[in-house]
Structure formats: structure tokens, C-alpha cells
């Protein structure tokens, strides 16, 4: 689409007035982009879509590097589940309606919205840059770019895309566009959400050996590594996968993984990388060891903070131990999952995503035992033949909310409660491998921290509407009781009851099915509380027995259309 470019957004720091992105002489720094790993001509994988950063966006460049949307036709071909655009608005949020043209002569419309490059939300940005250039020099002010997807009709061949031409889209800038290919032939077996970006170590020339538990099995495998929320690229020296024997020891020699045929890769800020498919028999319901060598100093990491699983780390300066079958080099332990966000297997029927908070994450379940309710659900799916034996992808984040962000989405932070369920929906649901159904079980944290019932039901409704636009089945669970926990007042319970009434009513017709987890775990003699036999002891989180009861209560037919 570079032939359509008509605007320059990127300037060299040596000539900060050399571009005019927004009509006032302000622009992005080419050096900041390079420092983030966004080099000219580089293909970035963001939310499972491949987008190429313009070759013209280079230091000293003088050619246009983006197009202002005005009804231009962009040649895009292929089949997929969405169109992905790398965009930003200037002069405020910019939005407009465009057209997708299919090869059979038919068409459909889409709405593309680009947040403002200076004031848009931090939680959904693809990359943040520390400076803005202008004719008066460079100033310290954050600039942001966004990767936005819009649904298309699955299974149909796209011929071209017409950009919006609405008056409200006059300041909608497009840097790149692509068709996001459906992950045909793959099933998600394990996943974790990035919940924050805390400081570490620094780690330097060390190897992580991360323990993850599969749901579905298959004859081939690939992993997904993500540099979400980061300000700088990270280099992966080597990586491998193996079945766990015990502790950090592998059951046989680890299988090396490659990235585009190379041993390692560099992941730009905000991007992700999939490993190449490898012949490796992934057993279902088993622990894998995914080993990652970090050759350079790493001072902060995108992380899933509450793994409820012990993983391993070699000492600083100890080098590459990804090929070790013996676990002796791994003298340190971790209770988080840095960088690793997915393990996929070849074949299978696809996946169910469980979107939730700490109860879905497995907080207060037995560590290293895989007794989270999504783990139990995965076992039930494998042990029956009435519905597809989906993989189950756990996208729970401890402390997460539906309506508001805990972690703001930018900067090094001690808060690892994640951005809101609405803000992470694209990354943690729509971009997941083989997703067919999303189960939403979230909201108690919103209520405990003051959200109204109306705010929460509006958030759940928005999630369901957006998921239906992507062709997903939406199953929503009622919120469990929590009387006895310090923030769970009578007022919280009243608002919880109102939300549960909305959910049980099918969300005004928006939900495809409902799971009544409240009815499963509550004490019938005091329904504001968890049944003592199911209570972990903190009155908020069910223990192993309660989590198992929740998963066992699910009519598996509700997961399929």
C-alpha cells in the first residue's frame, strides 16, 4: 500500500521539523522507533496478524510513510478472520466506515477507529514512544501507535479493501494493513495472559525453563512469545520444548525450536513471535518444559504474575541451557510466566477461551497440581465424545476487572492486575489460536472496588457484542459470593445479585448460554457466602473442591452452537 502514502509521520532527530504528521509540524522520532525494534521494512506480528512497518519511515527519509484515509482502494488478498490495520488518529480519535470487496463480487462494510496518537488509551496501544519531534525541537511526550482489527466474513476470498472516507476519518492515518489468517490446522493447548511489566534481575545470559500444562495433545507444536507492554525489543538466543520428567529435568532430550528457520529471534516492543512448527508429540494433560535463553541483559519483562506453578531459572551468566535434559543448571525458581503466552498443537477441533480473574487464574488452588477449574474442564472435554474435545486456554488474571484497568498498559509497574477484560479482548480472545467459544467469568473485582451494577452489565454486554461480531459463541457465568472477605460488603452483594439477575436473563439476549457458578458454590443456608467445604479460607476464592464443582457443573453442550 506504500504507493498510496501521502503523509510523513516520521522525522530524524537531527531534523525534528522534517515531517508533519498532525498538521501542526509534530512527528514521530525515527530513532525512538528504531530503539523499540520498529525498523523500516520490518514485519511485526501483533495480535497474530503480520504488519510491515513502512520502509520509508527511516532516519533521513523524505518520502511519505502513511496514508490519510480518504476512500483509497488497498490491494489485500487472502482468507482470514479479520483485517488488521496499524493506525493512529491526529486531532483526536478518528473513525470511519470502509468496504471489504470479495473476489466473488460481493462486499461488506467495516468500521475502523484510530485512537489519537497523543491522548489515546495506553492499555490498547501497540507501541509507545518517549518523544515527539517538532520544528521547535524534540520534547518529552508519549506518542502511541495502535494495531486495530475489524472482522471479515470467514472463508471468503478478499480482493481489496476500501479505506474510510467519512468526514470523521479525515485524520485517520494508516501505516500498514493485512489479512489476519485463520489458524487452520492448529488448536490452542495452553495460554496465559500478560498481566503487567515488572522489573527483574536484571537477567543476563540466563535460561528460563517454564513449566506449563497442556489441555489438548497433538503431533506437532509451536510456541508464542510476546513482548507485550515493553519499551524495547528482547533477543531470544535459543528455545526448546520437552516433556517434564521431574522438576527442571526433561523426559528425554529437549527439541530445539526455530523462528523463521533461525535458532533465535528478536521481538520488537509490543510484538510477538511464533516458533516454526516442529514435529513433537505433545501429550494431553501433561507438563511441558519450554526453555528460553536470554543472551542480553533484561531489566523488565512482560509477565503472567500468578502461575500457581513453579518454573526454573539458571544463574546470571550461565549461558544457554535450552538443550539440557538434566535440570541441574536451573538453580533458581519462578512463580511467574515471562514472555511465553501460548503453546499450540497440530490438528484438533479448536479451543475454548476462559476469560476471567483470579478464580479462573487458579489463585488458592494447590500449586503445581493443575486444579484450576479450566484444567478440570479440559479433562472433562477429553474424556467424552458428545462435543468436540476442545483445547482450553486459561486467560484469567488475578485482580483483573471488566470495566477498568489495574495495570495502565505502559511503563514498569508493580501492579500485575492487567488491563481490563475489554481492553485485552483482542489479544487474549480474538487472536487466540482456534478459538470457537469464550467463557466469561469476571466482575467481582469491579464490584469490590466500587463499580455499579449498570457499569458491569454494560461491560459484559460489550464483550458479548464484540465476540459475536467475530463469530464466537459467548457463555457467561454468574459471579460467586464473597461475604466475609474484607471488601465484600452488603452493598457489594446487592450489586452482585443485580448483575447475576442480568446474566441469568441471558444478558438481554446477548449471551448464548449461562453457567450458574454462583448457585454451585454458595452456601444454601447463607447464599451471600461460599459453602465452607468449597471455601479456600479467604471467603473470596474457592479451593480445589469448589473449583472442581464449578467445572463439573458445566453442561458441555453449552460450549457448542
Q: Digits of tens for pLDDT over the chain (561 positions)?
A: 899 999 999 999 999 999 999 999 999 999 999 999 999 999 999 999 999 999 999 888 889 999 999 999 999 999 999 999 999 999 999 999 999 999 999 999 999 999 999 999 999 999 999 999 999 999 999 999 999 999 999 889 999 999 999 888 889 999 999 999 988 899 999 999 999 999 999 999 999 999 999 999 999 999 999 999 999 999 999 999 999 999 999 999 999 999 999 999 999 999 999 999 999 999 999 999 999 999 999 999 999 999 999 999 999 999 999 999 999 999 999 999 999 999 999 999 999 999 999 999 999 999 999 999 999 999 999 999 999 999 999 999 999 999 999 999 999 999 999 999 999 999 999 999 999 999 999 999 999 999 999 999 999 999 999 999 999 999 999 999 999 999 999 999 999 999 999 999 998 899 999 999 999 999 999 999 999 999 999 999 999 999 999 999 999 999 997
Q: State the pLDDT at residue 390.
A: 98
The CATH number linked to 394 is 3.40.50.1110
Q: State the pLDDT at residue 166.
A: 87
d(CA 74, CA 534): 56
Q: Which residue has the cell 463499580?
A: 451
**CB neighbours of residue 253 within 10 Å:** 11
Q: State the pLDDT at residue 60.
A: 84
Residues 316 and 276 placed together within one structural domain of the fold: yes
Nearest CA to 221 among 276, 268, 260? 276
Q: Are 187 and 434 in contact, with CB atoms under 8 Å apart?
A: yes
Residues 408 and 456 placed together within one structural domain of the fold: yes
Q: State the pLDDT at residue 337.
A: 98
Instruction: Tell me how far CA of residue 107 lies from CA of 4, 152, 328, in angstroms.
Output: 22, 10, 59
3-class secondary structure, 554: coil
Containing structural domain, residue 251: 192-346
**CB neighbours of residue 27 within 10 Å:** 28
Q: State the pLDDT at residue 510.
A: 93
Residues 327 and 356 placed together within one structural domain of the fold: no
Let me know if 537 is exposed, middle or buried by CB neighbors in 10 A (0-12, 13-18, 19+).
exposed
- Tell me if 336 is assigned to some domain: yes
Q: Are 86 and 18 in contact, with CB atoms under 8 Å apart?
A: no
Ramachandran bin of 368, using left for φ above 0, alpha for ψ from -120 to 50, beta for the remaining angles: left
d(CA 398, CA 393): 15
Residues whose CB falls within 8 Å of the CB of residue 558, separated by 6 or more in sequence, listed in order: 475, 512, 513, 515
Domain boundary among 301, 325, 346: 346
Instruction: Tell me how far CA of residue 177 lies from CA of 5, 66, 273, in angstroms.
Output: 12, 11, 18
Helix (H) or strand (E) holding 332: strand 332-334
- Tell me if 128 is assigned to some domain: yes
d(CA 244, CA 35): 37
Residues 398 and 525 placed together within one structural domain of the fold: yes
Count the domains in the chain.
3
- Tell me if 298 is assigned to some domain: yes
Residues 107 and 173 placed together within one structural domain of the fold: yes
- Tell me if 187 is assigned to some domain: no
Q: Are 22 and 117 in contact, with CB atoms under 8 Å apart?
A: yes
Residues 342 and 369 placed together within one structural domain of the fold: no
Residues 341 and 353 placed together within one structural domain of the fold: no
3-class secondary structure, 244: strand
Domain boundary among 286, 314, 346: 346
Give the E-state strand segments of 261-385 in sequence order.
265-267, 272-274, 278-282, 287-294, 298-300, 303-304, 311-313, 332-334, 337-338, 340-346, 351-356
Residues 432 and 539 placed together within one structural domain of the fold: yes
Helix (H) or strand (E) holding 519: helix 517-521
Sign of CA dihedral 455, 97, 90, 149: positive
Give residue 561's Cα distance to chain centre.
Answer: 24
- Tell me if 117 is assigned to some domain: yes
d(CA 28, CA 53): 13
Give the E-state strand segments of 308-415 in sequence order.
311-313, 332-334, 337-338, 340-346, 351-356, 391-396
Q: State the pLDDT at residue 61.
A: 83
Cis bond upstream, residue 202 (ω within 30)? yes
Instruction: Tell me how far CA of residue 221 lies from CA of 203, 213, 311, 433, in angstroms.
Output: 27, 14, 20, 12
Residues 176 and 220 placed together within one structural domain of the fold: no
Residues 108 and 158 placed together within one structural domain of the fold: yes
Q: Are 79 and 181 in contact, with CB atoms under 8 Å apart?
A: yes
- Tell me if 394 is assigned to some domain: yes
- Tell me if 431 is assigned to some domain: yes
Q: Which residue has the cell 522525522?
A: 11
Residues 36 and 135 placed together within one structural domain of the fold: yes
Ramachandran bin of 408, using left for φ above 0, alpha for ψ from -120 to 50, beta for the remaining angles: alpha
Domain boundary among 118, 150, 180: 180
Residues 268 and 133 placed together within one structural domain of the fold: no
- Tell me if 185 is assigned to some domain: no
Amino acid at each position: 500500500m506504500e504507493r498510496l502514502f501521502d503523509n510523513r509521520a516520521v522525522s530524524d532527530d537531527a531534523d525534528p521539523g522534517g515531517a508533519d504528521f498532525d498538521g501542526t509540524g509534530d512527528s514521530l522520532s525515527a530513532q525512538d522507533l528504531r530503539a523499540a525494534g520498529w525498523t523500516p521494512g520490518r514485519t511485526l506480528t501483533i495480535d497474530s496478524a503480520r504488519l510491515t512497518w513502512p520502509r520509508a519511515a527511516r532516519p533521513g527519509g523524505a518520502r511519505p510513510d502513511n496514508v490519510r484515509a480518504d476512500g483509497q482502494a488497498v490491494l489485500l488478498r487472502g482468507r482470514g478472520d479479520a483485517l488488521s490495520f496499524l493506525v493512529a488518529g491526529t486531532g483526536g480519535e478518528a473513525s470511519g466506515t470502509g468496504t471489504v470487496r470479495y473476489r466473488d463480487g460481493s462486499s461488506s462494510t467495516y468500521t475502523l477507529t484510530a485512537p489519537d496518537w497523543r491522548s489515546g488509551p495506553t492499555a490498547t496501544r501497540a507501541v509507545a514512544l518517549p518523544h515527539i519531534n517538532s520544528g521547535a525541537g524534540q520534547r518529552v511526550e508519549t506518542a502511541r501507535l495502535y494495531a486495530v482489527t475489524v472482522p471479515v466474513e470467514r472463508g471468503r476470498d478478499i480482493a481489496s479493501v476500501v479505506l474510510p472516507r467519512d468526514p470523521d476519518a479525515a485524520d485517520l492515518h494508516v501505516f500498514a494493513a493485512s489479512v489476519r489468517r485463520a489458524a487452520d490446522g492448529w488448536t490452542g493447548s495452553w495460554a496465559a495472559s500478560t498481566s503487567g511489566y515488572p522489573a527483574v534481575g536484571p537477567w543476563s545470559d540466563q535460561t528460563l525453563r517454564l513449566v506449563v500444562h497442556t489441555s489438548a495433545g497433538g503431533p506437532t507444536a509451536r510456541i508464542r512469545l510476546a513482548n507485550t507492554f515493553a519499551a524495547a525489543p528482547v533477543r531470544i538466543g535459543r528455545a526448546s520444548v520437552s516433556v517434564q520428567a521431574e522438576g527442571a529435568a526433561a523426559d528425554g532430550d529437549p527439541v530445539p525450536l526455530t523462528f523463521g528457520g533461525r535458532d533465535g529471534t528478536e521481538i520488537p516492543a509490543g510484538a510477538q513471535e511464533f516458533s516454526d512448527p516442529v514435529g513433537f508429540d505433545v501429550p494431553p494433560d501433561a507438563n511441558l518444559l519450554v526453555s528460553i535463553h536470554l543472551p542480553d541483559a533484561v531489566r523488565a519483562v512482560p509477565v503472567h504474575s500468578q502461575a500457581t506453578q513453579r518454573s526454573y531459572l539458571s544463574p546470571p551468566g550461565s549461558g544457554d541451557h535450552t538443550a539440557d535434559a538434566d535440570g541441574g543448571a536451573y538453580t533458581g525458581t519462578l512463580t511467574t510466566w515471562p514472555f511465553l503466552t501460548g503453546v499450540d498443537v497440530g490438528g484438533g477441533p479448536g479451543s475454548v477461551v476462559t476469560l476471567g480473574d483470579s478464580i479462573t487464574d487458579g489463585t488458592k488452588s494447590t500449586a503445581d497440581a493443575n486444579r484450576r477449574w479450566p484444567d478440570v474442564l479440559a479433562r472433562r472435554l477429553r474424556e467424552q465424545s458428545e462435543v468436540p474435545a476442545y483445547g482450553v486456554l486459561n486467560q484469567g488474571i488475578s485482580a483483573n476487572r471488566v470495566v477498568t484497568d489495574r495495570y495502565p498498559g505502559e511503563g514498569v509497574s508493580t501492579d500485575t492486575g492487567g488491563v481490563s477484560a475489554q481492553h485485552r479482548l483482542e489479544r487474549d480472545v480474538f487472536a487466540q489460536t482456534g478459538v470457537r467459544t469464550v467463557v466469561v467469568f469476571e466482575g467481582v473485582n469491579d464490584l469490590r472496588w466500587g463499580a455499579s451494577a449498570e457499569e458491569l452489565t454494560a461491560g459484559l454486554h460489550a464483550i458479548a457484542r464484540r465476540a459475536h461480531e467475530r463469530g464466537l459463541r459467548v457463555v457467561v457465568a454468574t459471579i460467586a459470593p464473597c461475604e466475609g472477605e474484607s471488601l465484600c460488603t452488603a452493598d457489594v452483594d446487592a450489586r452482585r445479585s443485580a448483575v447475576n439477575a442480568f446474566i441469568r436473563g441471558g444478558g438481554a439476549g446477548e449471551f448464548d448460554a449461562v453457567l450458574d457458578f454462583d448457585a454451585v458454590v454458595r452456601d444454601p443456608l447463607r447464599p451471600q457466602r461460599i459453602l465452607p467445604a468449597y471455601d479456600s479460607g479467604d471467603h473470596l476464592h474457592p479451593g480445589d473442591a469448589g473449583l472442581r464443582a464449578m467445572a463439573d457443573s458445566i453442561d458441555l453442550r453449552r460450549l457448542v452452537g
